[in-house]
Amino acid sequence: MVDVAFQSNRTAAAQAGRRRVGLRNALRRKSMSAFLMTLPLILLIAILVIYPALYSVHLATLNKAMTKFVGFGNFEFLFKRDTFWLVVKQSCIFAISAVIFKALIGFIVAHFVHNVPANKQRKWRGMLLVPWVIPPAMSTLAWLWLFDPSYSAFNYTLSFFGIGPIPWTGDAMWARFSVILVNVWYGAPFFMIMYLAALKSVPEQLYEAAAIDGANWWQRIWYVTLPMMRNIIAITTLFSLIVTFANFDIVRILTAGGPLDHTHIFATWAFRVGIEGSDIPLGASVSLFMVPILAVAAIFILRDITKRGNES
């Protein structure tokens, strides 16, 4: 009996010791300390992102009065609404065209800045980043004044050349153009700075080798620069696509979705339906419709990151 008891104590002590050693080892592991250090942020994200996301899924399954579970009833209702499909179409037009132009302008401007002598580059980089660092709500207000239906500064200027007045926010096509233009103006500097960083990491020897092979300017871009920037272009484009799809402030301030709903995108229409129309479940369903679209984009981003990691 005594032996058994003694044995048992010894085993317990050994186990405790092993646990202590295990904990020490776990704490020594880099991944564990990294996890502990990021834990506050993870908790913050859980509270501010995951909980609201799950809550909105819950809301999307309720009826308008929020008294009954309706499953996918709200989505079924939305799929029968013409305005909803108009919003889907517009969100795609808005996001895709804005991202294409942002990428294109960012790429061109990054090349210009890259070719500026090193001592003057900082100044240019700073100036070109200004649209991106101003809060979009503020800068869009300035754009609203430029596009103002009655007192547009653009129209005033154009009138000297006998052009206009252009209904910047009063005509469906022009209004779409205006919201996309402001989004491009706001987002292009992000592309520019990312592409500039990528350009700087392209080894100079590759260009020298290409020059020796007799490559012209276009061939150097096509066969050297673009392949070297492929990953950053993909990641930046997809990241921007997600952000642009979820845009709210620019459209809300500039056109509030008008005229005739022709500039509504998911977020602005969700606000109109959910908050202004007091139909919160339907509003939640509209905003959740973005999830599959954005999830596909996120999968691409993650795959690209993994691929890049493996290559390096």
Rounded Cα–Cα distance for residues 119 and 12 (Å): 68
The footprint of another protein on residues 41-100 (CB under 8 A) is: 63-65, 77, 81-83
The footprint of another protein on residues 131-160 (CB under 8 A) is: 149-151
First to last CA, the chain: 63
Q: Which is nearer to another protein, 126 or 277 (CB)?
A: 277
Identify the DSSP state of 263.
Answer: T
Q: Is residue 164 within the footprint of another protein (CB under 8 A)?
A: no
Q: Which is nearer to another protein, 195 or 271 (CB)?
A: 271
Least Å from the CB of residue 254 to another protein: 10
Q: Which is nearer to another protein, 71 or 149 (CB)?
A: 149
Largest CA distance in the chain: 108
Angle between helices 290-311 and 226-245 (to 10 degrees): 160
Q: Is residue 173 within the footprint of another protein (CB under 8 A)?
A: no
Return the half-sphere exposure (C-beta side, CA atoms, 13 A cut-off) of residue 117. 2
Residue of 182, 102, 173 lying closest to 147 (CA atoms): 182
Q: Is residue 287 within the footprint of another protein (CB under 8 A)?
A: no
Beta bridge partners of 62: 69
Rounded Cα–Cα distance for residues 216 and 269 (Å): 49
Q: Is residue 277 within the footprint of another protein (CB under 8 A)?
A: yes
Q: Is residue 36 within the footprint of another protein (CB under 8 A)?
A: no
Choose which of 90, 139, 169, 237 interacts with another protein (CB under 8 A).
Answer: 169
Choose which of 60, 113, 175, 251 interacts with another protein (CB under 8 A).
Answer: 175
Q: Which is nearer to another protein, 68 or 200 (CB)?
A: 68
Least Å from the CB of residue 169 to another protein: 4
Q: Which residue has the tokens 């939640």?
A: 284
Least Å from the CB of residue 132 to another protein: 22
Choose which of 146, 261, 300, 301 interacts with another protein (CB under 8 A).
Answer: 261
For residue 248, CA distances in Å to 132, 136, 207, 238 come to 16, 10, 42, 18
Residue of 165, 195, 170, 34 lying closest to 105 (CA atoms): 195
Least Å from the CB of residue 78 to another protein: 9
Choose which of 114, 154, 206, 258 interacts with another protein (CB under 8 A).
Answer: 258
Return the half-sphere exposure (C-beta side, CA atoms, 13 A cut-off) of residue 131. 21
Per CB under 8 A, residues contacting another protein are: 63-65, 77, 81-83, 149-151, 165, 167-171, 175, 255-261, 272, 274-280, 282
